[in-house]
Chains A and B, each alone.
Chain A
Amino acid sequence: MTAGMATPAAPVLSVRNLTTTFSTSAGRVAAVDDVSFDVMPGEVLGVVGESGSGKSVTLRSIMRLIHSPGQVTGSATWHGRDLLGLSERELRKVRGGEIAMIFQEPTTALNPVLPVGLQIEENLKAHTPLDRAGRRLRAIELMNLVGIPEPERRLRDYPHQFSGGMRQRAMIAISLASNPRLLLADEPTTALDVTIQDQILKLLLELKRELGMSVVFVTHDLGVVAATCDRLAVMYAGRIVESGPVRAVFEEPRHAYTRGLLGSVPRSGAERTMLLSIEGTPPSLAAIPTGCAFNPRCSFATDICRRDKPQLSPIDGGRLVACHHHDQVAAAGSPIA
């Protein structure tokens, strides 16, 4: 099942039936369960979910960052080649070169014992034919691009000498070094203060425009999705439950979980009223309910929901939803309209 599109353009990344399982003391558990989606050229796709939804694992699975005992099956087709089937050597060329990834904690994602300039140049050395002088110039260019002041001086600084926001910019500079076509961003602003988050988000959008990249943006913050993404996919218990253009989904959510998430965010004009909250907690991956995984917490659930797992099916407007009663959910209205 594909995240359908209205335009005839071909997707740059096509993920099909991605499934990632881990063996735990409770048996084999699926963190990502049969996930399929497309990423269109030049778009920002938001992947939204809470803890245990599988959103970060999805990104890591695509980049083959999952180590055993985790197992990944399915396909992730990038410009005609399946990333999951590439040899180590070919994968190395793609990773960091055509596809880049940035993480939530720049403190742990940057090498603490190497100066930042060197880390940028390492990327350039691996993926571009530039010589030493060329690499240094490009590194300074990149630092300017991401807004790090005094780049010539900062090239020699170590990650701990940068503040949180600057470190995130440094990480972006490293990942953009070889002009990737696709950026995978795993909660890059979650750990940042709101004014810094604002700077980084606007920077990412600007860079996306200038470099013509596509972005997959994993987050739990619907506000960030509204501010940056063109389309979104909502994940719950390892599966995509709804996807489509951001505006359409926000104005008319068709899955009860999406609706609940939108209602959980406080919005202006309704101060000190009860928030629309979702009862209960996300299920442990080892004990996912039969039928629709969301049914114990869903106010629209009926018997069929407890028996049959709903499949992601297309509806108008390039949207997909996995819900037996999506019409009812739509009729109940959007909490933010």
Chain B
Amino acid sequence: MTLAAPAPVTTRRRLRVGRLPATAVAGGVILLISLFLGLFPQLVAPYDPTVFDYNALLAAPSGAHWFGTDSFGRDVFTRVVYAYGLDLQIAVFATIPSFIIGTIVGALVGYSGPLVQAIFGRIVDAVITFPFLVLVIAIVAVLGPGLVNMYIAVGVVGWVFYARLVSAEVRVQKRLDYADAGRVMGYRPWRIIFLHLLPNSITPAIVYLMTDMALAILLGSSLGYLGLGAQPPASEWGVQIADGKNFMSTAWWIGVFPGIAIVITGLGFSLLGDGLAELLRTKK
């Protein structure tokens, strides 16, 4: 039967900046700025984050202290800026290992037979039944507080989500003719899985990675707030929010500005993820 020509469809004209989607550009800009602040905080922050200024305890935002000071007299703006480095680190180390492990396992599972997929399915069920935060806290409680332990805890649990996404997509791609074409060509399974199927299956995982990075910052901040992640006096937004929780009515700026920083950075990742999804969408 003849394939009918695709009917001319109007797609909502998505905003573009040059050849890139506007969302990707906006997200990219936010993250580039964040990266700059993370690498060179000393160029932007006016003060030293560890210096106490007993003359300006709990000072409201002013010309000298744009975001005010905290209960130790530390400039909040400086601390928020210095926290970029640590929080971006969390975004990367709490996600990339899961991404790598999950993608590889997912690709292998997706290509395997029903028995392997059934076992994998049960593992996924087991992991997603529990709230993610609870699992991570449980593992950190065993290993002890600290960022490295947090990375381990997230890695142990988090790979499952990537593996699920990738294996589902690989299962779909495996049925397409180009996968059969690879087999008829006599290519070995590893080549078919990693050089043919995976590039076509990885987009959902990449987009999820972006969202995951935003969530990782939240996770790090939550654990920091609970005292299980970064430990004071480290500059980390969660720790800062924890510091500020007792002063919400009297010195709101201590907790609110780190919170805004989390939102903006998270937004940056989300926008970039959205833009990447559009860029990577396979054209037919």
Q: Is A273 an interface residue (CB 8 A)?
A: no
For residue B6, give the distance in angstroms from its CB to the closest CB of chain A. 9
Task: Give the chain A neighbours of B13 by CB distance below 8 A.
Answer: 25
CB pair A190 B8 closer than 8 Å: no
Q: Give the shortest distance, in Å, between B219 (CB) and chain A (any CB).
A: 40
Nearest Cβ on chain A to B279's Cβ, whole angstroms:
16
Does A152 count as interface, using CB distance less than 8 angstroms?
Answer: no
| Total A-B pairs, Cβ < 8 A | 29
- A57, A191, A220: the one contacting B7 at CB < 8 Å is A57
The answer to whether the Cβ of B5 comes within 8 Å of any Cβ in the partner chain is yes
Q: Which residue of chain B lies nearest to A53 when distances are taken between CB atoms in the complex?
A: B5
- Chain A residues contacting B11 (CB-CB under 8 Å) are 25
The residue from A25, A52, A191 contacting B5, defined by CB atoms under 8 A apart:
A52
- Which single member of A25, A51, A285 contacts B4 (CB below 8 Å)? A51
A190 near B10 with CB under 8 A, answer: no
Indicate if A264 sits at the interface (CB-CB under 8 A).
no
Is B15 an interface residue when CB atoms closer than 8 A count as contact? no
Q: Smallest Cβ distance from A185 to chain B, in angstroms?
A: 15
Contacts of B1-57 to chain A: CB distance below 8 A: 1-5, 7-11, 13
Top-3 shortest CB links A-B: A51-B5, A22-B8, A52-B5
Choose among B1, B2, B10 the residue that contacts A22 (Cβ–Cβ < 8 A): B10
How far, in angstroms, from A56 to B7 measured CA to CA in the complex?
10
Enumerate A56-72 residues with CB–CB distance to B below 8 Å.
Answer: 56-57, 69
Q: Which residues of B contact A56 (CB under 8 A)?
A: 4
Binding site for B on A (CB under 8 A): 22-25, 29, 31, 50-52, 56-57, 69, 190-191, 220, 282, 285
User: Closest residue of chain A to B9, judged by CB?
Assistant: A24
A24 to B10, CA, bound (A): 5
Is A285 a contact of B8 with CB atoms below 8 Å? yes
User: Is the Cβ of A29 less than 8 Å from the Cβ of B1?
Assistant: no
For residue A282, which residues in chain B have a CB less than 8 angstroms away from its CB?
A: 5
Closest CB in chain A relative to B8 CB, distance in Å: 4
Among the listed A31, A51, A57, which residue makes an inter-chain contact with B2, where contact means beta carbons less than 8 Å apart? A51
A23 to B5, CA, bound (A): 16
Q: Which of B3, B5, B9 neighbours the largest number of chain A CB atoms within 10 Å of its CB? A: B5
Q: How far is the CB of B4 from chain A (nearest CB, A)?
A: 6
* Chain A to chain B contacts (Cβ below 8 Å), 11 pairs: A22-B9, A22-B10, A24-B8, A25-B11, A25-B13, A29-B8, A50-B2, A51-B3, A51-B5, A69-B10, A190-B2
A49 to chain B, nearest CB (A): 10
Nearest residue (CB) in A for B3 is A51
Contact in complex: A191, B1 (CB < 8 Å): yes
CA gap between A22 and B7 in the complex, in Å: 9
* Min distance, Cβ A57 to any Cβ of chain B, angstroms: 7
Chain A residues contacting B5 (CB-CB under 8 Å) are: 51-52, 282
Q: How far is the CA of A262 from the CA of B129 in the complex (A)?
A: 63
In the bound assembly, the distance between CA atoms of A69 and B12 in angstroms comes to 11
Chain A residues lying within 8 Å of B9, measured Cβ to Cβ, are: 22, 24
Residues of chain B within 8 A of A52, CB atoms compared: 5
B7 → A minimal CB distance (Å): 7
The CA-CA distance from A123 to B82 in the complex, in Å, is 72
Of A25, A57, A69, A190, the contact of B1 (CB 8 Å cutoff): A190
Q: How far is the CA of A191 from the CA of B10 in the complex (A)?
A: 27
The answer to whether B8 touches A220, judged by C-beta atoms less than 8 angstroms apart, is no
In the assembled complex, the Cα of A56 lies from the Cα of B8 at a distance in Å of: 13
Q: Is the CB of A220 within 8 A of B2?
A: yes
The distance in angstroms between the C-alpha atoms of A34 and B2, with both chains bound, is 25
Q: Collect the chain B residues with CB atoms within 8 Å of residue A50's CB.
A: 2
Q: Which residue of B lies closest to A190 (CB)?
A: B1
Question: Contacts of A191 on B, CB cut-off 8 Å?
Answer: 1
* Shortest distance between the CB of B68 and any CB in chain A (Å): 50
* Min CB gap B19→A, angstroms: 14
- A220 and B4 CA atoms in complex are apart in Å by 10
Q: List chain A residues, Cβ under 8 A from B2.
A: 50-51, 190, 220
In angstroms, Cα B2 to Cα A282, docked, is 14
A25, A29, A69, A190: residue with the most chain B Cβ atoms closer than 10 Å? A25
A304 CA to B10 CA, complexed, in Å: 35
CB distance from A105 to the nearest CB of B (A): 10
Of chain A, the residue at the smallest CB distance from B4 is A51
The minimal Cβ–Cβ distance linking B248 to chain A, given in whole angstroms, is: 50
Assembled-state Cα–Cα distance A23/B1 (Å): 28
A31 to chain B: which residues have CB within 8 Å?
7-8
